[in-house]
A and B are shown apart, each in its own frame.
Chain A
Amino acid sequence: MSSVLDKTLGVPAAALHLRAMRTKVLAENMANADTPNFKARDFDFKAAMRQAQSQQAVLVTTRPNHMQPPGGDPQAPPPLLYRYPLSPALDGNTVEMQAEQAKFAENTVSYQATLTILGNRITGLLGALRGE
């Protein structure tokens, strides 16, 4: 099951998951635009995508203090980085609304593009199954 479905849907599905996570992170930034000392966060989509596609084996953890090596678990959420502000505010907040809005719009368009790709692949698979 894994080979055909993973090869067809694997990459766009992973991308969709990461896009949804990024939507959440950017929404948090915008929600905290007026919170003193809040630092805007984001993650490197390219690096996260590379990690999600890596075929590295996951170590078995049997105790709560067992750890995965960094970048070892393809399922792990990508590490969140801090945004470098163009003009930091006096209250320690580094959210720049226009930049966040631009990133949010870009992320939304990419999410929709990924959805279209995923939809097309599903249609293709269904066509193959029906023998059309």
Chain B
Amino acid sequence: MSLFKVFDVAGSAMSAQTVRLNLTASNLANAETVAGSPEEAYKARQPVFAAALKAVQGADDTPVPVRVEAVVESQAPAQMLHMPSHPLADANGYVYRSNVNTVEEMVNMISASRSYQNNVEVMNTSKELLLQTLRLGS
């Protein structure tokens, strides 16, 4: 029954979007953290989504759920701030702020929450259809 597979597919998308939302929260929370060296500075993290490969090539009725393939760290350089009085400042008086772009993260957050809502709607609709099918003939 194809309608049951909708729950797997929409559920996988919801958990993938949850991972994305979690990473966005982590990035936003650490946007203002500073460190004593560029290596120690917090790097923005982003999930990489991939469609789960079909088990058998050509089998068109296998579901295609979403998979979080990896979490990658942004390679953008950390922001150098001149704060000689900061306890973490290096020999030249610099601290290194995380490379999180807050505007990008806000956009990510909105996009993730919209996608999540979409999948909730898909799940609700499929549930309604299944229940109506169960009531068939009564």
Q: Which residues of A contact B (CB under 8 A)?
A: 16-17, 20-21, 23-24, 26-28, 30-36, 38, 77-80, 97, 101, 104, 108, 111-112, 115, 118-119, 122-123, 126
Which residue of chain A lies nearest to B61 when distances are taken between CB atoms in the complex?
Answer: A77
Check A111–B129 contact: CB distance below 8 A: yes
Check A23–B51 contact: CB distance below 8 A: no
Check B1–A119 contact: CB distance below 8 A: no
User: When chains A and B are docked, how far (Å) is the Cα of A35 from the Cα of B5?
Assistant: 19
Find chain B residues with CB under 8 A from A17 CB: 2
Find chain A residues with CB under 8 A from B80 CB: none
- The minimal Cβ–Cβ distance linking B120 to chain A, given in whole angstroms, is 11
Chain B interface size band reads: 35 or more
User: When chains A and B are docked, how far (Å) is the Cα of A38 from the Cα of B2?
Assistant: 21
Asked if B110 lies at the interface with its beta carbon under 8 angstroms from chain A, I say: no
- The minimal Cβ–Cβ distance linking A39 to chain B, given in whole angstroms, is 9
Task: Given contact pairs A112-B129, A115-B132, enumerate 7 new A-B contacts (beta carbons under 8 Å).
Answer: A23-B129, A24-B3, A27-B9, A31-B122, A36-B49, A78-B60, A119-B136
Which residue of chain A lies nearest to B67 when distances are taken between CB atoms in the complex?
Answer: A35
Asked if B31 lies at the interface with its beta carbon under 8 angstroms from chain A, I say: no
Please, what's the 1-or-0 string for B1-22, where 1 marks a CB less than 8 Å from any CB in chain A?
1110110011011001100100
Which residue of chain A lies nearest to B137 when distances are taken between CB atoms in the complex?
Answer: A122
Q: Given A20-B1, A23-B3, A118-B136, is A30 in contact with B122 using a C-beta cutoff of 8 Å?
A: yes
Q: Given A108-B125, A118-B136, is A27 in contact with B6 using a C-beta cutoff of 8 Å?
A: yes
Check A28–B9 contact: CB distance below 8 A: yes
Chain B interface mostly helix, strand, loop or mixed? Answer: helix
Which residue of chain B lies nearest to A21 when distances are taken between CB atoms in the complex?
Answer: B2
7 shortest interchain CB distances as A-B pairs: A31-B13, A122-B137, A24-B2, A20-B2, A35-B49, A27-B6, A21-B2
User: When chains A and B are docked, how far (Å) is the Cα of A97 from the Cα of B115?
Assistant: 9
Check A104–B137 contact: CB distance below 8 A: no
User: When chains A and B are docked, how far (Å) is the Cα of A38 from the Cα of B64?
Assistant: 10
Find chain B residues with CB under 8 A from A79 CB: 60
Check B66–A23 contact: CB distance below 8 A: no
Check B66–A31 contact: CB distance below 8 A: yes
Q: Given A20-B2, A35-B66, is A30 in contact with B13 using a C-beta cutoff of 8 Å?
A: yes
Find chain B residues with CB under 8 A from A31 CB: 9-10, 12-13, 64-66, 119, 122
Q: Given A24-B9, A32-B66, A108-B129, is A123 in contact with B61 using a C-beta cutoff of 8 Å?
A: no
Asked if B101 lies at the interface with its beta carbon under 8 angstroms from chain A, I say: no
Find chain B residues with CB under 8 A from A119 CB: 136-137
